[in-house]
Amino acid sequence: MQLAASLVGLTFNSMPAQAADTAASASTENIQTYQYRLDQKHGWKITSAGSGMFRADNVIYQTADSGKTWDKLSDSENGTLPSGPVGAFTFSSADNGWLTINTPQSGTQRLYTTGDGGAHWTRVKLDVPDQYAASMFDPAPPVFFSSTSYGIMIPDHPEIQNAQGGNTSFFLFFVTQDAGQHWTAITDHTAGTWNSLSWDAAENQDKEHYSWEIRIGHALWTSPDGKDWATATETAHQRSSFHK
């Protein structure tokens, strides 16, 4: 299956499908709008109306004409779209999408998926290792690697409370080989192989991110921070939105 991410007006067929900007592209009082573009014509936007700390009512829309018109797909009041502050969202195809909700919950990420273009959403089951059941994770959407069924999801700043009462960072990410239907946790191994996917991660000087190399067969992807990804010949940024 060939996946493509349209970034800064260009389409790179060899790039992994990446996330929409986690910052709102527009804001009116307490209503924020997040947008993601799959190609030159097709995209989605979510409006999020804040109603208190970690509370927000969300509505998702779809466009097929570069944002000239939008059709409502679902909302968090009467539909299956989750409520709460939006972390980020991405689509790997016209049908399959992913959304994170930014509310702090120990031992879990609020990750949701759709298989019908955004009309219906379900929560993704992630089995967090027992030793990290009380840890806090920042939302992170998955990255899928084009021409494969593999993907990874790297939580931002995973931490666990240490014996001195402070926080200690640890290494954790999730991997899938069936386009996100099932996820397996990888922890404490900064290099290794899982089925046909090999990884090598090195901690950056900021002690908060890792630089990555992902190999699947003869293909190689690299990232300086787990958010910006490049092949050997192309580079692109994670952010993608319609220009207003």
| Residue 180 pLDDT greater than 80, yes or no | yes
- Radius of gyration of the chain from Cα atoms? 18
pLDDT score recorded for residue 132: 76
What's the whole-number mean pLDDT along residues 98-113?
82
Question: Comparing C-alpha atoms, which of 200, 100, 199 is closest to residue 155?
Answer: 100
Regarding predicted confidence, which is higher, 129 or 106?
Answer: 129
Interval 55-74 mean pLDDT: 96
Which pLDDT tens digit goes with each residue over 202-241? Answer: 988 877 788 999 999 989 999 998 888 988 654 443 333 3
Contact 83, 55 (CB under 8 A): yes
Q: Supply the pLDDT for residue 209.
A: 81
Mean of all residue pLDDT scores within the chain? 79
Phi, psi of 34 (to 5 degrees): -115, 135
188 vs 73, higher pLDDT: 73
* Strand ranges (E), 102-209: 110-114, 122-123, 136-138, 143-144, 151-153, 156-161, 167-169, 172-176, 184-187, 191-194, 197-203
What pLDDT does residue 2 have? 32
Q: What is the pTM of this model?
A: 0.76
Sequence-distant (6+) residues with CB within 8 A of 137 are: 107, 108, 109, 155, 156, 157, 158
At 165 the pLDDT is 54
Statement: residue 244 has pLDDT above 80: no
Q: So what's the pLDDT on residue 57?
A: 94
The rounded distance, in Å, linking the Cα atoms of 152 and 140 is 10
Tokens 């592209």 sit on residue: 25
- Over the range 124-133, which residues count as b (16 or more CB within 10 Å of their CB) and which as e? bebebeeebe
CA 227 to chain centre: 9
Angle at the Cα of 180 from the Cα atoms of 179 and 184, rounded to 5 degrees: 120
User: 10 Å Cβ neighbour count for 233?
Assistant: 7
Confidence (pLDDT) at 10: 26
Asked if residue 150 has pLDDT above 90, the reply is: yes
Q: What is the mean pLDDT of residues 4-33?
A: 47
Tens digits of per-residue pLDDT, 72-99? 999 999 999 999 999 889 998 999 999 9
Which are the contacts of 200, defined by CB distance < 8 A and separation ≥ 6? 190, 191, 212, 213
Q: Which has the minimum average pLDDT: 74-83, 127-136, 143-152, 195-204? A: 127-136
Model confidence at 62, pLDDT cuts 50, 70, 90, reads: very high
Cα–Cα distance for residue pair 84/62, rounded to 1 Å: 20
Q: What percent of the chain has pLDDT over 70?
A: 74
Question: Residue 129: its pLDDT value, please?
Answer: 81
What pLDDT is stored for residue 123 in this prediction? 92
CB atoms within 10 A of CB 171: 14
pLDDT > 80? residue 189: yes
Tokens 């689509």 sit at which residue?
Answer: 91
The per-residue pLDDT for 127 is 84
Q: What is the DSSP letter of 22?
A: S
Does residue 172 register a pLDDT over 70? yes
Q: Which of 145, 217, 152, 139 is nearest to 183 (CA)?
A: 152
